[in-house]
Structure 1
């Protein structure tokens, strides 16, 4: 879709119409947890800056080839809303929407764009970069971009593996200290099969985490026996569950002799499963 704009000699040239709003997508990772992939926006700059500052020195080196430069400026650039030449996607996790990965492409020619990724140290190896690559490739195809290029620090083996095993037929060539990756934005049939297998594995991991959680939070756990929240919490304590059980009750500091927390966000450890035991009208708020 295009719109007309004034040309240099009083004529008109075609200008692409604004990009339609991109939808957020929830994805399941290899360990069964989930993150949301969504387009970046200007309001994300502070969260992106926090993400950049949390990267290890090695992580910054891998992303910026040794020069991290102005992190505040980078955060603002990455928070730019998508258009037909530049797209920045974020992966966010948890109730606080913590940024755990960023990926983007920048058009460098009529049918070519440069692509780059950064993943939080504690979320690497979970398949986020691969999912982001697939999403970026689809958006690029819609904009007439047929080729992605990337420059990867030579010893960034994990990123090179992402490209090699992505399902896109990537070509790698070594240069001074970096590996140049060139790949089409269209998947082969074998590549599509790989993505489907990854989706199946991730779905199985999500079900496994639901059926065999390592920790449980009971939202609405009550000090009073005979209530739904009180009985669910007591059943978990008295059962065979081997992991920690966290009572969530903003009106109590202790529930049935166990330290209580005002919200799931305040729990000191990871929560694999939350059981919500509150009145129906409060379920949506309790679920975040």
Structure 2
């Protein structure tokens, strides 16, 4: 893990289902939120975490987050929707082997099997190495199969010693090639999952599609219809009931089906408001072709995406396309549709994108997917490389950054 939360820093990371969480150092004022995490746990999970179902154990564990850093204690929490959904912590015991720390891990009942624990441990390992810790130890019940699997799947050499109903685990924190590959595989899987609503949406809405010929939103809607997008397609315009033969609705919340992807083509001052409405409605990805956002508007846009787990392409971009036959997605405002093929294209400049697509067409090279990154607030060339490596269609990657 290349990024470790420093004091006061918030690191956004992806879970295996593509959900975005915030990982940060625990603070003394987190006691109440951590206690809530434990108080909402089922008796079964409390027993696995504390070896008993005593609620007092949760209170004592929550109180530990108030310890000063020089006590040898460190904790990281994962937040989602303003709530703590997981915590990983270690305590250095001066009486034990030098460079060794005992760890514990807890994840909310409804967040299991999404990679929260593994993500927290990856960050905790980085933090521990930076503070001279070379080995983690942990005690678990033998029937706590989930946490034992988390330890064994990290990519580190975990040793186990069984003692009745308990098992003692020793995990050396060696920076091995196997561990780095494991972290990379997990990161790629999470990244690809988060990009699916963006590049393989089941339903699309164009917000700001106008009735006036020449408007950007109308041009995107035109390409989606003439490109024969295979899923449900809606327009959002409070002053129209139909645009280019596509049913129009007054707002995102009024749509009959929640779109995976919303294309936003409204004036800069309205972008953040529309993004918030999209997030509250359950939209999973945004393509913002609008330009001219100032610093405040940009912060509000990105905050809405973080808060509601939406990936973002743009703003100030040409659009995106995926030529898969079962999808036929052309959410761009280019003059012609890209031909289907095996070249993945990502550009930061819309003008370069138009020129590059034209050049590929003249060479007889088709496109698997095309993304105009624009101001690149979120989705980047690295994300696209991860996607192309796993999409099963891309043989050639072209990046202009």
Whether TM-score is above 0.5 comes out as yes
Residue 28 of structure 1 contacts residue 206 of structure 1 at CA under 8 Å; is this kept in 2? Answer: yes
Give the length in aligned residue pairs: 258
Give distance in 1, aligned partners of 2:78 and 2:161.
29
- 2:300 aligned with 1:285, yes or no? yes
1:117-196 correspondence runs (5 A): 117-196=105-184
Give distance in 2, aligned partners of 1:57 and 1:91.
22
Offset of residue 89 of structure 1 = 0.2
Structure 1 pair 160–266 and aligned structure 2 pair: CA distance change class (3 A): same
Structure 1 pair 173–123 and aligned structure 2 pair: CA distance change class (3 A): same
| Residue 54 (structure 1) aligned to one of 40, 59, 63 | 40
Structure 2: unaligned runs, 5 residues or longer: 1-5, 239-248, 256-273, 304-401
Give distance in 2, aligned partners of 1:186 and 1:257.
49
- Secondary structure of 1:162's aligned partner: helix
Give distance in 1, aligned partners of 2:116 and 2:171.
19
- 2:53 aligned with 1:40, yes or no? no
TM-score by length of 1: 0.72
Give distance in 2, aligned partners of 1:59 and 1:234.
49
TM-score by length of 2: 0.54
1:216-235 correspondence runs (5 A): none
Give distance in 1, aligned partners of 2:49 and 2:204.
36
1:245-256 correspondence runs (5 A): 255=250
- Specify the alignment match of 2:284 in structure 1: 272
Partner deviation per Cα, 1:211-240 (whole Å, 9 max, x = no partner): 23467788xx579866x89969988x9875
Residue 169 of structure 1 contacts residue 188 of structure 1 at CA under 8 Å; is this kept in 2? Answer: no
Offset of residue 160 of structure 1 = 0.7
Offset of residue 117 of structure 1 = 0.5
1:52-91 correspondence runs (5 A): 52-70=38-56, 71-78=58-65, 80=67, 82-83=69-70, 85-91=72-78
Give distance in 1, aligned partners of 2:36 and 2:203.
28
Give distance in 2, aligned partners of 1:145 and 1:84.
14
Say which is worse superposed, 152-161 or 189-198, in terms of deviation: 189-198
Residue 213 of structure 1 contacts residue 272 of structure 1 at CA under 8 Å; is this kept in 2? Answer: no
Give distance in 1, aligned partners of 2:219 and 2:90.
48
Give distance in 2, aligned partners of 1:65 and 1:44.
24
Partner deviation per Cα, 1:32-58 (whole Å, 9 max, x = no partner): 222121101122223222322332222
Give distance in 1, aligned partners of 2:123 and 2:251.
47
Larger radius of gyration: 2
Offset of residue 284 of structure 1 = 2.6
Give distance in 1, aligned partners of 2:184 and 2:195.
17
Give distance in 2, aligned partners of 1:209 and 1:162.
28
| Structure with more contact order per residue of length (Cα contacts < 8 Å, sep ≥ 6) | 1
Structure 1 pair 77–276 and aligned structure 2 pair: CA distance change class (3 A): farther
Residue 85 of structure 2 contacts residue 108 of structure 2 at CA under 8 Å; is this kept in 1? Answer: yes
Offset of residue 149 of structure 1 = 0.8
Residue 222 of structure 1 contacts residue 255 of structure 1 at CA under 8 Å; is this kept in 2? Answer: no
RMSD: 3.7
Residue 276 of structure 1 contacts residue 287 of structure 1 at CA under 8 Å; is this kept in 2? Answer: no
- Specify the alignment match of 1:3 in structure 2: none
